[in-house]
Amino acid sequence: MDSGIELRHFRYVLAVAEEGTFTAAAARLGMTQPALSRAIRALEQVMGTALFERGHHGATLTEAGKTFRDDARAVDALARKALNRTGQRSNGPRHLRITARGCDVGTLETLVASYNSTRGDHAPARGAIVGLQTRVEEVHAGEADATLMRSPDDLSGLDSDVVRTDPRVALLPNAHPLATRRMIKRADLVDETFTLWSGHTPEQIAYWTATDLARHGWRPGPTVSDAAQFGACIRLGESVGFIAADLLPEMVLTGISVVPVADISVSELRIAWPRSATSRDIAHFVRHATSTAEDCPPLSRIT
Amino acid sequence: MDSGIELRHFRYVLAVAEEGTFTAAAARLGMTQPALSRAIRALEQVMGTALFERGHHGATLTEAGKTFRDDARAVDALARKALNRTGQRSNGPRHLRITARGCDVGTLETLVASYNSTRGDHAPARGAIVGLQTRVEEVHAGEADATLMRSPDDLSGLDSDVVRTDPRVALLPNAHPLATRRMIKRADLVDETFTLWSGHTPEQIAYWTATDLARHGWRPGPTVSDAAQFGACIRLGESVGFIAADLLPEMVLTGISVVPVADISVSELRIAWPRSATSRDIAHFVRHATSTAEDCPPLSRIT
DNA sequence: AGGGGGGCATGCCTTCCAGGCCTCGCCGCT
DNA sequence: AGCGGCGAGGCCTGGAAGGCATGCCCCCCT
Nearest alpha carbon to residue A154 among A108, A200, A211, A191: A200
Q: What confidence score (pLDDT) does residue B198 get?
A: 60
Determine the residue type at B176: H
User: Is the Cβ pair B49, A7 closer than 8 Å?
Assistant: no
Q: Which three-class secondary structure state does DSSP give residue A129?
A: strand
Closest-approach nucleotide to residue B23, Cα vs C1': D6
| Residue B219 pLDDT class (50, 70, 90 cuts) | low
pLDDT top residue among B259 and A292? B259
Helical segments of A217-259, H only: 227-237
Most confident of A183-187, B24-28, B68-72, B192-196: B68-72
Residue B22 has a pLDDT of 94
Question: Mean of the pLDDT values across residues A13-36?
Answer: 92
Q: Which residue is nearest to nucleotide C16 (CA to C1')?
A: A278
Q: Give the pLDDT band (50/70/90) at residue B37.
A: very high
pLDDT at B244 > cutoff 70: yes
What is the C-alpha R_g of chain A?
25
> What pLDDT band is residue B295 in, cutting at 50, 70 and 90?
very low
| Chain A residues touching B90 at Cβ < 8 A | 48-49
Q: Is the CB of B33 under 7 A from strand D?
A: yes
Measured CA distances, A97 to A94, A123, A142, A239, A276 (Å): 9, 12, 10, 37, 16
Per-residue pLDDT averaged across A274-302, rounded?
65
| B125: closest chain A residue by CA | A1
Please name the amino acid found at residue B73: R
- The whole-angstrom separation of Cα A123 and Cα A282 is 10
pLDDT digits (tens, 9 = 90+) for A90-124: 444 567 778 777 666 677 777 777 777 664 555 44
Task: Report if CB B8 to strand D is under 7 Å.
Answer: no
**Mean pLDDT throughout A132-146?**
69
Residue type, B208: W
Q: What's the pLDDT score for residue B302?
A: 35
Q: Nearest CA to A243 among A225, A267, A223, A226?
A: A267
- Protein B152 CA to nucleic acid C18 C1', in Å? 36
H or E element, residue A34: helix A33-47
| Overall average pLDDT of the A146-173 stretch | 78
If you average pLDDT over residues A165-185, what whole number do you get?
86
Chain A residues lying within 8 Å of B68, measured CB to CB: 82, 85-86
CA distance A239 to A236: 8
Residue lying closest to nucleotide C11, CA to C1': A34
pLDDT band at B299 (very low <50, low <70, confident <90, very high): very low
Examine the pLDDT at B152 and tell me if it is beyond 90.
Answer: no
pLDDT digits (tens, 9 = 90+) for A7-24: 999 999 999 999 999 999
Q: How far is the CA of B56 from the C1' of C29 (A)?
A: 13
Q: Using 50, 70 and 90 to split pLDDT, how confident is the model at B228? A: low
Is a pLDDT exceeding 80 seen at residue B184?
yes
Q: Which spans in A182-297 are helix H?
A: 202-209, 227-237, 280-292
Contact (Cβ atoms closer than 8 angstroms) between residue A227 and residue A256: no
A75 to B71: CB separation less than 8 angstroms, yes or no: no
Range A225-234, long-range pairs (CB < 8 A, 24+ positions)? A225/A133, A225/A197, A225/A198, A225/A199, A226/A198, A227/A251, A227/A252, A228/A252, A230/A171, A230/A195, A230/A197, A231/A171, A231/A255, A231/A256, A233/A195, A234/A171, A234/A172, A234/A173, A234/A195
Q: Does the pTM exceed 0.85?
A: no
Chain B nearest C-alpha distance from A136 (Å): 28
High-pLDDT (> 90) share of chain B, %: 20
Read off the pLDDT of residues A246-264 as tens digits, 9 standing for 90 and up: 777 777 777 888 998 887 7
Measure CB to CB from residue A124 to each of B1, B7, B68 and give the nearest one: B1
pLDDT, residue B185, reads 85
If residue A267 lies in a helix (H) or strand (E), which one and from where to where? strand A267-274
Name every chain A residue with its beta carbon within 8 A of the beta carbon of B91: 46, 48
Residues whose CB falls within 7 A of nucleic chain C? A 21-24, 33-34, 37-38, 40-41, 54, 56-59, 278, 280; B 4, 8, 26, 30-32, 34-35, 38-39, 42, 56-57, 280, 283
Mutate to test the interface with B, among A69, A73, A83 (most CBs of B within 10 A): A83
Query: What residue of B is the nearest CA neighbor of A74?
Result: B78
**% of chain A at pLDDT higher than 90:** 19
More confident: B123 or B186? B186
Is pLDDT of B300 > 60?
no
Q: Is the pLDDT of residue A51 over 90?
A: yes
Residue A206 has pLDDT above 80, yes or no: no
Domains of chain A, start order = 7-84 (1.10.10.10), 94-165+267-301 (3.40.190.10), 168-260 (3.40.190.10)
Q: Is the CB of A87 under 7 A from strand D?
A: no
Residue B9 confidence (pLDDT) above 90: yes
Give the residue with greater pLDDT, A78 vs B201: A78
Question: A222-232 pLDDT, tens per residue?
Answer: 666 566 667 77
- Please list every residue in chain B whose beta carbon sits closer than 8 Å to the beta carbon of residue A82: 10, 68, 71-72, 74-75
